[in-house]
Amino acid sequence: MASVPAAPLAASFTAPLTAPLTRRELVVLRELRENENVPLRRIADSLHVSLNTVRSQTRSVYRKLGVSSRSQALHRARELHLL
C-alpha cells in the first residue's frame, strides 16, 4: 500500500513554551502589554522592584517565548493565550 505524504504544518503552528512562565513573569508580561511604549524603568517603579529585576524577568520571558523583542513577546503571548 502506498504511503500518503504528510500534510505540511500550517504556517500558524505555534510551538509550545520552552518552560512555563512563573507567576512573576506573567505579571511582567502583563505590564509590558499595558505599558507597551513605556521604558522598563517605569515598569520597575510600578512593580516596586529594581530595574535589573525587571530586565532579568523580561529576558526570561523572551527566552521562554522564543522571541527577542517586546512586540514579538506580546504577539507570541497572544498566540499562546497568555494575554
pLDDT band, residue 57 (cuts 50/70/90): very high
Query: What's the CATH class of domain 23-79?
Result: mainly alpha
* In the predicted structure, residue 60 carries a pLDDT above the cut 70: yes
* In the predicted structure, residue 12 carries a pLDDT above the cut 50: no
Q: Torsion angle, CA of 48/65/26/34, rounded to 10 degrees?
A: 70
Domain boundaries, the chain: 23-79
Measured between alpha carbons, how far is 60 from 3 in angstroms, rounded to an integer? 43
Q: What pTM did the predictor assign?
A: 0.77
Measured between alpha carbons, how far is 81 from 83 in angstroms, rounded to an integer? 5
* In the predicted structure, residue 4 carries a pLDDT above the cut 90: no
pLDDT band, residue 28 (cuts 50/70/90): very high
- Give SS3 for 64: helix
**Mean of the pLDDT values across residues 32-54?**
93
